[in-house]
Structure 1
Amino acid sequence: MLFPPMPLEEWQDTKQTLHRFLQIAGKVRLDQSPLRNHWWNVPFHLTARGLTSRPMGEETFFTIDFDFVRHLLRVECSTGQDVSFSLTDLSVAGFYRRLLDALASVGYQVRIAQPVPFDLADSTPFAVDEQHATYVPEHANRYWQILGQVSLVLEEFAGRSYAKTSPVHHFWHTMDIAVTRFSDRPAELPDGVDPVTREAYSHEVISAGFWFGDDKFGEPAFYSYTAPEPAGLTEEPLSPAAASWVPSGSSHLALLRYDDARASGDPRATVLEFLESAYLAGAHRAGWDIDSLRHPRAAAIEAG
């Protein structure tokens, strides 16, 4: 089934645990990978079984992979060594210990600089978090299935543009999957902007993606935003009719609820329609050269 149901309340406990598992592995990736522009070195990528950190290291290298088919965490090294352990029946503290031990067993002594959750309501340090210990395999597998389906839609959307475009990647800090287009014009940022934000938004962007819901918005949804947000953005129309502009801090998101997309006659086409309308809204208001950035593939689709 394309876009199976995923109500947040049904898997909230598993999501809270899994999110912390992802953050632990993601912080290893942050520590062990060379910096890429806009932090593109940090996110996970999708595989046919789950998620991968991609190779890390120097002379020898290793990967951390989540297998959501067999529900394993696997560390593999270019020396031929590998170790894996089950994701089920583990607290966050247990996962934290097992992962660091697994890395040490293949020759990597890794130290996570800030071993606490990022931007989560409960900031209990990973090493002592025994409270988050729910992992329902069915929910973890469905999470990955949806990520894979959404990633292919985002790949199709990405292919409609000649703009500089990020990979389709899964951010472990916010647990969303996204792709970002750039105008190649530097963005004007306030003097007080932190270094992380300054690197992420050094140039004008229009980002599109999907997230599973959180404490602020309690259901899964597709989204898009333009940064910096141009004047009059929310006056631009969105399509389909179920899409809307919603406040997000000092700016706005274009938003299409996952269940609205699922309920349409053609969910894939509906999502692509939404993403295109949100992109055109941002590009028009920000003064991007829409025609020169449009791939002939997109022009053909628009012409019908």
Structure 2
Amino acid sequence: MAESTSTVTPLPDTGEVLPPLPLDAWRSTKETLHRFAQIIGKVALAKGIRRNHWWHMTYRLTARGWTTLPLGSATDGPVFTCAFDFFDHVLRLSTDRGVQDEIPLQGQSVATFYTEAMRGLRDLGVDVTLPHPTPFDLPDHGRPFDQDYDHHTYDVAAVHRAFRIQSQVGRVLEEFSAGYSGKISSVQLFWHTFDLAVQRFSDRKIDMPGSVDLVTREAYSREVISAGFWFGDDRVPEPTFYSYTAPEPAGLNSEPLRPAAAHWVPSGSGHNAYLAYDAARASADPVATTLDFFHSAYAAGARLAGWDAPALACPGGITDPVLERPAGRWPE
């Protein structure tokens, strides 16, 4: 059932900061990889030490792919990590006891990957059971992972290019993050929606009706302005940078955005600011253009929500009042 034939012709490294990857060129691979990510994300959800806003279950970028945070506890089996390596194209399971296992990514259906990943964890002494071993918020959400033989495409060229894009976008989001001194998340990959994002929070608590689901309640328990990137889906069929403010202040969708190609799009009961990835790529300075977009969307949300943006700013990642002056220097 597995398929490993490349559907994307590898391109030479032209030195582009943001290389191309249209959604349709790797859609079937993306759908398979998304489900792989959800399987291991649910392991992190089950075995991680809970953090606010679900930060314990997200992925962090490495130089080779994604990794979970260290999982397990001091009294509950080995400490372990699950890392996707997009150079060797394996899931690497490692423990603090010095043992590891590798699960190939290529040539796997979702069903075989799930079975092998669970076996690998058991072999390393990790006792984990997923309460809901099915996709989250995907079209086949009712089908158990171990019954999914339909998603089996893994194009190594496309996956490698997708990771390179995430790595570059991650650096842009880190640079954007550096300018904020308030409560802020890591730059992290959310496996349920498959987007790379960073969230800036105010200390304002948000009251929600009891009908709101527990995932949303925790994710949005504080006022937040999010910035991120996704590869696209059926609703947004192209790679896109985005930002939103939640709860959305009145008039946000009338605020100007930069660059001119950015725009507001209705989303649920509110709006998202969107900048097409290819529009940023086409600019003279893709990094500066993307940062300008994130800054303009944040400024609009912060101003209308009443945040004290000057007090929360730390240009260049510096909060020390001595070092932030031009003459400030680290000791020799």
CA distance in 2, matches of 1:19, 1:86: 15
1:228 aligns with 247
Offset at 1:167? 0.5
* In 1, Cα distance between equivalents of 2:103 and 2:197: 29
CA distance in 1, matches of 2:182, 2:257: 21
C-alpha offsets along residues 259-290 of structure 1, whole Å, 9 cap, x if unaligned?
00000000000000000000001001111111
Question: 2:58 — aligned with what?
Answer: 43
| Residue of structure 2 equivalent to 1:197 | 216
Aligned partner of 2:199 among 171, 176, 180: 180
Which residue number corresponds to residue 257 of structure 2? 238
2:89 aligned residue: 71
Other-structure match for 2:329: none
Alpha-carbon distance in structure 2 between the residues aligned to 1:85 and 1:44: 18
My pick for the range that moved more, 54-63 or 267-276, is 54-63
Between 1:184-193 and 1:19-28, the stretch displaced more is: 184-193
Instruction: Choose the corresponding residue for 1:145, options 164, 169, 176.
Output: 164
1:298 to 1:273, Cα distance in 2 relative to 1, 3 A: farther
> 3, 13, 20: which one pairs with 1:5?
20
Alignment correspondent of 1:54: 69
Q: Does 1:16 align with 2:31?
A: yes
The residue number in structure 2 matching 1:282 is 301
Which protein shows a greater Rg?
A: 2
Give the gaps of 5 or more residues in structure 1: none
Q: Which runs of 5+ in 2 are unaligned?
A: 1-15, 319-323, 325-332
Letter in 1 for 2:108: L
The TM-score, its normalising length taken from structure 1, stands at 0.96
TM-score (norm 2): 0.88
In structure 1, give the amino acid aligned to 2:284. G
Q: 1:122 aligns with which of 140, 155, 179?
A: 140
CA distance in 2, matches of 1:296, 1:22: 34
Q: Write the letter of the residue equivalent to 1:120.
A: L
Give the residue type in structure 2 aligned to 1:240: P
Per the alignment, in what secondary structure is the counterpart of residue 26 of structure 2? helix
Q: Given the alignment, which residue of 266, 277, 302 partners 1:247?
A: 266
Give me the whole-angstrom Cα distance separating, in 2, the residues matched to 1:234 and 1:85.
46
Q: Where do 4+ consecutive residues of structure 1 move more than 3 Å?
A: 296-300
Conserved 8 A contact 2:103-2:113: no
- Among the aligned pairs, what percent are the same residue? 54
- Compare 195-204 and 129-138 and name the one that shifted more: 195-204
Matched, 1:96 2:114: yes
AA paired with 2:33?
L
The CA deviation at 1:131 is 0.6
**How much has 1:16 moved relative to structure 2?**
0.6
Q: 2:127 matched to 1:109?
A: yes
Matched with 2:286 is 267
Instruction: State the Cα distance separating 1:82 from its structure 2 match.
Output: 0.8
Tell me: CA distance 1:296–1:48, structure 2 relative to 1, closer, same or farther (3 Å).
closer
Q: How many residues align?
A: 300
